C-alpha cells in the first residue's frame, strides 16, 4: 500500500475538479485539461462538501448545463466551492450560477446565441494572458439563452459579445472567472489555451500527468489488489481489452490468462493478428475458442439489430464462462471500462433514451462471483491509445478504428450467413487497404463497409447481373458523440468502387454514406 500511496500522491498532487451541471460536452473539458498534463475528475454538482474538500483540488471548473438559474429548483454550486479559496472557472451555466449565487443577476435574453460568435476583449486578464489581448476580436462557440446582466461585487467585465454583455468576467483578487462561451470545443480555436491558463498559470499546476507515470501507478495498484491470485480477461481484438491485458500482464505476469472468443464476425485476418500479437510479442497466456458455428446457428434468420446484439452478448457470456471454468477458477475478471463509462453511471441528467444497446461483459461478475480489475477506468479513449503506445503495443492495434462488439453482424443489414460475412470481409479489406495506401487512415475516426439488404441490376461484360449493393462509411470525430462525413475526393471513391466490383464476386454496386451524426448514428445498426 505504501508504494501505491506514494505513487498516487506524486501523480495526483495537482488535480482539477470539474463539477458537471449536465452539459453535453462536459467530458471535453476533462479531455482538454488532461491534454495539458493535469489530472482531473468529473463529479456531479450534487457532490457533498466534505467529498470536495477531501479531494483537495487546486482549482474547480463549473460546466455548462441545460437549466436556467431563474428556475426554482435549478442546480446550485456547492458552498464548499467558494469556501476553499481556490481558483474557480464557470463555463456557460457555470458562469451564470456563480454570478447568481454571489450577488449578481441573470435573466432570459431576447438575443440568444447558439453556434459561432465573436467576443470583443475589453480588458486584460490572467485568463487571457498570452492568448488574447485587449482590443482583439475572437471567435468562440456559444450555446445559451440566459445571460448575466449584473455582475457580483468584485467582478469586472473582460469580454463582451453581441448577445452577452458579460461574455467574460473576472474577480482577479479571489481568482474567480466566468465565460459565457464554451472553451472546451474545437469551434473555440484558442479555448484549450484559455483552459491551460486557468489550470497552469492561475491554479498553479505544472502538468505532471503522463502515461508513463500512470502506467507505474496502475501496475502498483494491480499488484496490490490482486496479490498472488489469478485474473482472466476477455480479449475482443479491440483497443481497450488489448491495452488492459498488456498492462495487467506487465503487473502480474502469468497470473493473467486471456480468453479470446472468436464469434466468426471479425474482420479479415483479425483473429490471426490478435493471437500472434499476444502469444508471440507479449507472451501472454491465451485461450482461443472458435465458437463461430454456435453463433451463426443462433443468429440464423435473425434480422433485428437489437436481437442480434443481445444474442451475441448472451452467447459471448456463456462461451466465456465455459472457458473460464476449464481454467479451474479465478478470483478476478479484467474489464476495459473507460472513464466515460464511469462518468455516465453517475450522470446528473439521468438515463438517456436507448439508441442501441452496447455489447460488453458487464453481466459476468454477478454470474461468476468474481471481483473486477478495471485498470483503464480513469482514462479516455485517446489516453488508452497513448498508454498502449507507451507499453509498445503495435500501432495496427492501438491505432485501429473503433469496432463494435457484435462485429460484422450489425454491418450486414439482413440475416447473417457465412457467405455474407466472407463477402463483407473482402469489401471491407479492400476499402481499408485503399484508405491506408492513400495515407488517410489516421485522419479518419472510423471507416467501414455495410452490406445492404438489396440486390441491384448491373452489367458486367456482355451479361446482366443481379447482385448485392454495399455502402461505404467514413467519419471524422473527436469522441464519437458527433461525427462529420470524411470528404473523400471522387477519384478515390471511384477507385475503391472499381476494385470492389471487379474483385468481389457477388457485388455490383457501391454507394458512399454522406450522413453526419446527428441525425444518423455512425454505425447503421
Q: Which residues are catalytic?
A: 92, 182, 184
Cell of 451: 452490406
**How crowded is residue 73: how many other Cβ atoms within 10 Å of its Cβ?**
6
Specify whether the CB–CB gap between 179 and 142 falls below 8 A.
Answer: no
Residue pair 137/167 in contact (Cβ under 8 Å)? The answer is: no
* Cβ contact 145:68 at 8 Å: yes
Residues 6+ apart with CB under 8 A from 319: 261, 289, 291, 294
**Is 288 in contact with 262 (CB distance < 8 Å)?**
yes
- Residue 35 three-state SS: helix
Under a CB-based contact definition with an 8 Å cutoff, are residues 471 and 506 in contact? no
Range 259-277 burial, b when 16+ CB lie within 10 A, else e: bbbbbbbbbbebbebbbeb
Closest CA to 187 of 117, 121, 136: 117
* Residue 395, helix vs strand vs coil: helix
Q: Could you give the angle at which helices 211-226 and 2-12 cross, rounded to 10 degrees?
A: 150
Task: Report the 3 state secondary structure along 9-25.
Answer: HHHHCCEEEEEECCCCC
Q: Spell out the SS3 assignment of 207-262.
A: CCCCHHHHHHHHHHHHHHHHCCCCEEEEECCCHHHHHHHHHHHHHHHHHEEEEEEE
- In sequence order, the β-bridge partners of residue 107 are 147
How many Å is the maximal CA-CA distance in the chain? 84
H/E run at residue 371:
strand 371-373
Please tell me the distance from the alpha carbon of residue 491 to that of residue 443, in angstroms, as a whole number.
Answer: 18
CB of 117 within 8 A of CB of 181?
A: yes
Amino acid at each position: 500500500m505504501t508504494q501505491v500511496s506514494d505513487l498516487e500522491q506524486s501523480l495526483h498532487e495537482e488535480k482539477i475538479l470539474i463539477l458537471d451541471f449536465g452539459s453535453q460536452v462536459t467530458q471535453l473539458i476533462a479531455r482538454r485539461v488532461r491534454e495539458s498534463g493535469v489530472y482531473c475528475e468529473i463529479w456531479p454538482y450534487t457532490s457533498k462538501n466534505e467529498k470536495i474538500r477531501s479531494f483537495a483540488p487546486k482549482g474547480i471548473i463549473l460546466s455548462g448545463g441545460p437549466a436556467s438559474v431563474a428556475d426554482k429548483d435549478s442546480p446550485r454550486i456547492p458552498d464548499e466551492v467558494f469556501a476553499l479559496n481556490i481558483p474557480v472557472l464557470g463555463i456557460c451555466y457555470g458562469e451564470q450560477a456563480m454570478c447568481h449565487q454571489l450577488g449578481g443577476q441573470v435573466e432570459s435574453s431576447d438575443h440568444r446565441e447558439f453556434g459561432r460568435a465573436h467576443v470583443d476583449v475589453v480588458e486584460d486578464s490572467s485568463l487571457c494572458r498570452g492568448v488574447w489581448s485587449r482590443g482583439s476580436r475572437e471567435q468562440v462557440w456559444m450555446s445559451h439563452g440566459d445571460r448575466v446582466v449584473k455582475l457580483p461585487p468584485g467582478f469586472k467585465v473582460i469580454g463582451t459579445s453581441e448577445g452577452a454583455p458579460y461574455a467574460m468576467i473576472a474577480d482577479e483578487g479571489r481568482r474567480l472567472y466566468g465565460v459565457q462561451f464554451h472553451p472546451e470545443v474545437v469551434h473555440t480555436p484558442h479555448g484549450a489555451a484559455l483552459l491551460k491558463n486557468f489550470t497552469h498559470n492561475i491554479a498553479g499546476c505544472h502538468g505532471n500527468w503522463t502515461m508513463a507515470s500512470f502506467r507505474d501507478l496502475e501496475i502498483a495498484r494491480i499488484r496490490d489488489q490482486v496479490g498472488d491470485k489469478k485474473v482472466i480477461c476477455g480479449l475482443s481484438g479491440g483497443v481497450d481489452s488489448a491495452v488492459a491485458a498488456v498492462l495487467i500482464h506487465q503487473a502480474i505476469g502469468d497470473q493473467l490468462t486471456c480468453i479470446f472468443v472468436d464469434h466468426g464476425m471479425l474482420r479479415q485476418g483479425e483473429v490471426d493478428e490478435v493471437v500472434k500479437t499476444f502469444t508471440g510479442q507479449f507472451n501472454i497466456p491465451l485461450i482461443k475458442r472458435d465458437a463461430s458455428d454456435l453463433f451463426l446457428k443462433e443468429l440464423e434468420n435473425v434480422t433485428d439489430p437489437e436481437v442480434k446484439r443481445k444474442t451475441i452478448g448472451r452467447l459471448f457470456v456463456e462461451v466465456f464462462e465455459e472457458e473460464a471454468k476449464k481454467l479451474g477458477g479465478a478470483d478476478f475478471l479484467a474489464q476495459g471500462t473507460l472513464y466515460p463509462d464511469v462518468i455516465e453511471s453517475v450522470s446528473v441528467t439521468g438515463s438517456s433514451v436507448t439508441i442501441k444497446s452496447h455489447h460488453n461483459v458487464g453481466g459476468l461478475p454477478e454470474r461468476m462471483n468474481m471481483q473486477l480489475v478495471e485498470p483503464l477506468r480513469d482514462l479516455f479513449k485517446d489516453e488508452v491509445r497513448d498508454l498502449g503506445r507507451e507499453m509498445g503495443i503495435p500501432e495496427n492495434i492501438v491505432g485501429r478504428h473503433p469496432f463494435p462488439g457484435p462485429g460484422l453482424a450489425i454491418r450486414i443489414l439482413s440475416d447473417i450467413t457465412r457467405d455474407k460475412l466472407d463477402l463483407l470481409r473482402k469489401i471491407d479489406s479492400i476499402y481499408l487497404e485503399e484508405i491506408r495506401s492513400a495515407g488517410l487512415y489516421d485522419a479518419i475516426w472510423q471507416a467501414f463497409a455495410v452490406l445492404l439488404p438489396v440486390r441491384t441490376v448491373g452489367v458486367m461484360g456482355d451479361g446482366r447481373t443481379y447482385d448485392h449493393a454495399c455502402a461505404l462509411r467514413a467519419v471524422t470525430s473527436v469522441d464519437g458523440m458527433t461525427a462529420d462525413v470524411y470528404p473523400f475526393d471522387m477519384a478515390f471513391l471511384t477507385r475503391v468502387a472499381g476494385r470492389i466490383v471487379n474483385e468481389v464476386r457477388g457485388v455490383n454496386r457501391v454507394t458512399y454514406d454522406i450522413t453526419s451524426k446527428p441525425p444518423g448514428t455512425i454505425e447503421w445498426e
